[in-house]
Amino acid sequence: MQVDLLAGTGYRPLALPRPQPTILVFDSGLGGLTVLSRTTQACPGAHIVYAADDAGFPYGRLTEEALVARILAVMERLIARCRPDLVVIACNTASTLVLPALRARFAIPFVGTVPAIKPAATATKSGMISVLATPGTVARVYTRELIETYAGGCDVTLVGATRLAGLAEQALKGEAVDDKALLAEIAPCFVEANGRRTDVVTLSCTHYPLLLERMKRLAPWPVEWIDPAPAIARRVVALLGPIGDAPCPDATAIFTSGAGLSGPLRIALAGYGLAHVAIEPMPLAN
């Protein structure tokens, strides 16, 4: 593989505790909250900033060139504002494309989010796994390379869900999400052939764990669902090294638009420990 998305290649953890490192968790929308939750649990002494580029959401509508340019521009602004010690790119669509450019531009460690194909291949008993992702992640060469490297002996079904991230955002904002719409998005993951059937599904978009309990209920049969968030949190701890346990200021959420900041969403953000919400206006250029 050319790039290890979960690693901060070239970075070593500090031997001495950092009294209060700042961790920036970045996503196009609200899916990164699933990573934020695990990171907060793993690093209780860190100052956490959650940044959502909601002005650019969804990233799947952008060309690869436009997406790289957008994320570099947004990250330039966020790093200047927040001065993080480490950045988590809590977005598969972005991670599979833009991490090399970010690491070339900024001299801080970046932890990406990779489709959990290797653990899925290890966990399957039937040899049939599904990768539930956005169309952008499904189309990436990196995803295909992961399959070739780690799941060559498996039957892998790639499912590019067009609406699932949006449905997750709706649910978190307190809006109704129809079971039929949700089932239509996940149904292609469940494949039966020659007496075997899918037994592992990777959640290869950080939005999807927001709907996990409903997906379990609607699934035609039980499967193992793999969420990469715990592995990401472990990597953050490994890169930062020991962290002091001094009290931290309340975590902050930053939005590049804020157009969808409803009352129910603010309540949901508070439930993730994001007591403060700020807007860093960055309209998406036409």
Alpha-carbon span 183 to 232, nearest angstrom: 28
Q: Is 265 helix (H, G, I), strand (E, B) or coil?
A: helix
Number of alpha carbons in the 13 Å side-chain half-sphere of residue 74: 34
Supply 159's token pair: 């499912």
Q: Is 137 helix (H, G, I), strand (E, B) or coil?
A: helix
Task: Go through the chain and tell me how many residues it has.
Answer: 286
Under 8 Å between Cβ of 233 and 39: yes
Alpha-carbon span 203 to 215, nearest angstrom: 11
> Taking Cα atoms as reference points, which of 203, 182, 185, 215 lies closest to residue 129?
203
Under 8 Å between Cβ of 31 and 167: no
Within 8 A by CB and 6+ apart from 200, the residues are: 120, 123, 124, 128, 129, 130, 223, 224, 225, 226
The residues annotated as belonging to the active site are: 91, 205
Alpha-carbon span 238 to 194, nearest angstrom: 43
Burial status of residue 279 (CB atoms within 10 A of its CB: 0-12, 13-18, 19 or more): middle
> Taking Cα atoms as reference points, which of 23, 22, 21, 30 lies closest to residue 255?
30
